Structure 1
Amino acid sequence: MSRLLLSPTQLQKLLRSNTKTVVLDSTWFMPNSPRVAKAEFKAKRIPGAQFLDLDEVASSHPLGLKHMLPSPKTFANACGAFGMERSSTAVFYDAHGVFSSPRALWMFKQAFGHENAAILDGGLPRWEAEGFPVDTNPEVAAPVPATYSTPTLDALATRSYEQMVDNAAKHSPARELVMDARSRGRFLGTDPEPRPGLSSGHMPHSVSLPFNVFLRNHVASNGSPYTTFLPEDQLRSALEEAIGSERLSQAVLQGQQPVITSCGSGMTAAILWLGLQLLGVKNTSLYDESWTGYALRPSSIIEKSG
C-alpha cells in the first residue's frame, strides 16, 4: 500500500478486502487535558480497532520524557500482541482528526520500516461524520497474538540532543534545517510552555512552522470539530511561507536540504514529518526529545525573538 492517508471509505474497503489489516487507535491527549484516551477508546471506537498507548509503548528516558521511541524489541513485542505481522497493513487514527496518529505512523514506517502503514485522515470524528459504524461495547476483544520479527531502527529516523547541538553549531549549508511545530508565540519566547518552569524560545537557526498550518479544520454535523491534512498545493504554500526563502524551499522540496522536525515533546513534529512525506520530501528526521528535552538542559542555547 503506497497511500499515507486513507479516507473512511478507503479504510472500509480495505477492511472488507482479504488484506490483513490492523486498525490502531493512537489517540493521545496533552497532560493538562481532562480527557482520557484509553477510556474514550473503550467507550467508542472503529469496529475491530485496538488501542496503541504511545506512552506505554516507549522507552524510559533519564529526564522522564514520555512517549519516547521504544527499543526494537519493545516495538516488536507490542506489534505481536496486536496480532500484527511484518506483512500486515497498519492503519492509525485518533480522536482529534489528525494529531497523534502521525506519530504512530512515523514510529512504524520510518523508524522501524513497517512499509504497509497509513493514517485515517480525519480520524474517528470523520469516520462517524461520514456515517460509518462505531463499536460502543466496553468489552474489547483480545486479538490472536502473532510473531513479529524484531526490526532494526533506522538511524536516520531520529536525532539525539547531542546531534541537535552539533547541528546548530554547523555553518550553512552543512546544517540540517530544523522545523519547529510549536505555536509561534512559544517559538518566539513570548508565550509560556505548557510545562511549568520550562523556558520557551527556540533552537539556533530553526524555523517556525506550527503544525496546524498543515491542517484544515472541519465541524461534523453533530458539532464535533476535527482536522484533516491540506491538499498538496496548500501544503507546499505553507511550507514555502514558513521557510521564507525560495532557494531554500526548493532545496527542501527537491531533497537537497535535510530537515529535522521538532515540537514540544515529539508528538506534533510527526505532523510536519508526514506533511513533508506527502510533498515527496524523504530526507527528513525527527528530534524525539524535541523542545522539552532541549530546554530542560541548562547548557542549551535558547534564542528568543520577542
Structure 2
Amino acid sequence: MSSGAPLLVKPTELAELKKSGVAILDASWHMPASPRKAKDEFLLKRIPGAQFLDLDEVASPNELGLKHMMPSSRQFADACEYWGIEPDTHVVIYDAVGVFSSPRALFMFRAFGHGKSSILDGGLPRWEVEGYPVETGPPLTAVKKTTYPEPHLDANVIRSYKQVVYNASLNPADPISELVLDARSRGRWLGSDPEPRPGLPSGHIPHSFSLPFNTFLQTNKVPGSDATYTMLLPPQELREKLVGAVGPENAEKILKGERSAVTSCGSGMTAGVLWLGLKLLGASKVGLYDESWTGYAVRESSVIDKGEK
C-alpha cells in the first residue's frame, strides 16, 4: 500500500499539498445528544475541495447495533473509490472541533495500510484562524471515481471483546498482558458519573488506566469570539501526560514497544485521540478496542470495576 506521510500537518503544509494534489476529507462527528449536525455543517462551510466522510456510514454492522465500527475491506475500498482516492493518494483528514473525530478516521486509513494519510492539526477552525479560505454550499467539483484494490486490514491493531476480556483476566504484571488506556472522563471511569447512553453502567475494565482524551489536547481560542478549537499537545507534554496516567515504568515500556497498549473510550471514537498521541510518541504496539465501553458494559457477563485501583 501507500508509503508513509506525517501523522499531523499544519494549515501551511496543507495549503502547499493542495497545489500538487491531495484528497481532503471532513470526518466531523458529534455525540448523538449534540445539536450539531456534521453533514449540515459541512455543506455550510468546509475546506475547498473537501469531501465528507461519514464514520457511521463507512462502517460494518455490529451484533449490538453499535455505530462507526471498522468497515470491511470492501467497504473501505468502495468509499475510497467514491472519493476519487487511489492507493498512492495523500489523504488529509480534518474535523470541525479541531482534534476530535479525525484521529479515528486516520486510524481507519492506517489500519488498512494507507500510510499516506494525515490529519490537519487544529482542523477547520485553525485553517480559518490562519487566514485560509473556505467554501460554502453544495460541492461544485465533481470527483472522478477511481479504482482502489481491496486492502488488507492489519488485525494486530483491532481488539475484540473476547480479547479484552481475556486480557482483563491476566495478572497486570504479566508482560504479555496489554495496558488498556480509557479515554472517557475520569468520573465515568471511576463509576461516579453516569454514562451518556441511558441504562449503561459506568465504571471500567479491570486493570485499565484512566487517561481522558482531552488530556492529550490543548484548547485554543478563536480570536474575536467565544469559540475554541483543539490541537495535539507537543510531544514532551504528551509524554508527561502518559507518565502521569500509567506511571514512568509502564510509559517507558509502551514507548519502547515492550508492552502493548490498547485504547478504549465510550464507543471507539475518541480512543483514536489516544492512539494518535501514542503514535506521535513513537509507540509501535498500539491497538484500539473497537466496541469500547459501550460494547463491554452492555454485556451482562462483563466484570466492571469502580473506584481507584
Normalised to the residue count of structure 1, the TM-score between the two structures is 0.97
Tell me the alpha carbon deviations over residues 225-246 of structure 1, each in whole angstroms, 9 at most, x when there is no partner: 10000000000000000002x2
How far did 1:137 drift?
2.7
1:243 maps to: 246
Question: Aligned residues: percent identity?
Answer: 58
| Matched residue, 2:134 | 134
Q: Deviations over 1:248-297 (max 9, x none)?
A: 22111111010000000000001000000000001010000000000000
What residue is the counterpart of 1:170 in the other structure? 170
1:89 aligns with 2:90: yes
Write the letter of the residue equivalent to 1:95.
A
User: Are positions 1:208 and 2:210 aligned together?
Assistant: yes
User: For the Cα contact (< 8 Å) 2:206–2:303, is it kept in 1?
Assistant: yes
Query: Does residue 43 of structure 1 match 2:44?
Result: yes
Give runs of aligned pairs for residues 210-289 of structure 1, distance below 5 A: 210-223=212-225, 224-244=227-247, 246-289=248-291
Provide, for residues 170-225 of structure 1, a one-character-per-residue CA deviation record: whole Å limited to 9, x for no partner: 22222100000000000000000000000000000100000001000001114221
1:298 aligns with 2:300: yes
Helix, strand or coil for the counterpart of 1:164?
helix
The answer to whether the 8 A contact 2:255-2:284 is kept is no
Q: Secondary structure at the match of 1:156?
A: helix
> In structure 2, what is the Cα distance between the partners aligned to 1:68 and 1:268?
13
Determine the C-alpha separation between the residues in 2 that align with 1:289 and 1:252: 22
| 8 Å CA contact retained: 1:160, 1:289 | yes
Structure 1 runs not aligned, ≥5 long: none
Cα shift at 1:115: 1.0
Q: Unaligned regions of 5+ residues in structure 2, if any? A: none
The aligned residue for residue 60 of structure 2 is 59
Rounded to whole Å, the distance in 1 between the matches of 2:71 and 2:197 is 23
How far off is 1:139 after superposition?
A: 4.0
Q: Answer with 220-229 or 145-154: which moved more.
A: 220-229
Measured after TM superposition, the shift of residue 140 of structure 1 is 4.3
Name the structure 2 match of 1:24. Answer: 25
CA 1:166–1:160 in 2, change beyond 3 Å: closer, same or farther? same
- The 10-residue stretch of structure 1 (249-258 or 127-136) with the greater mean CA deviation from structure 2: 249-258
The match for 2:199 among 197, 201, 204 is 197
CA gap of 1:169–1:146, structure 2 versus 1, over 3 A, is: same
C-alpha displacement at 1:117, in angstroms? 0.4
Task: Return the TM-score normalized by structure 2.
Answer: 0.96
Q: How do 1:103-118 residues align onto structure 2 when only pairs under 5 Å count?
A: 103-109=104-110, 111-118=111-118
Is the 1:203–1:303 Cα contact (8 Å) retained in structure 2?
yes
Which residue number corresponds to residue 79 of structure 1?
Answer: 80
Q: In the alignment, residue 276 of structure 1 is paired with which amino acid?
A: L
Question: Does structure 2 retain, via aligned residues, the 8 Å contact 1:42–1:140?
Answer: no
Match for 1:180 among 172, 178, 182? 182
Could you tell me how far apart the structure 2 residues matched to 1:248 and 1:34 are? 39
Structure 1 residues 56-111: Cα deviation after superposition (integer angstroms, max 9, x where no partner) = 000001111000000000000000000000000010000000000000000001x1
Structure 2: how far apart are the matches of 1:41 and 1:139?
Answer: 10
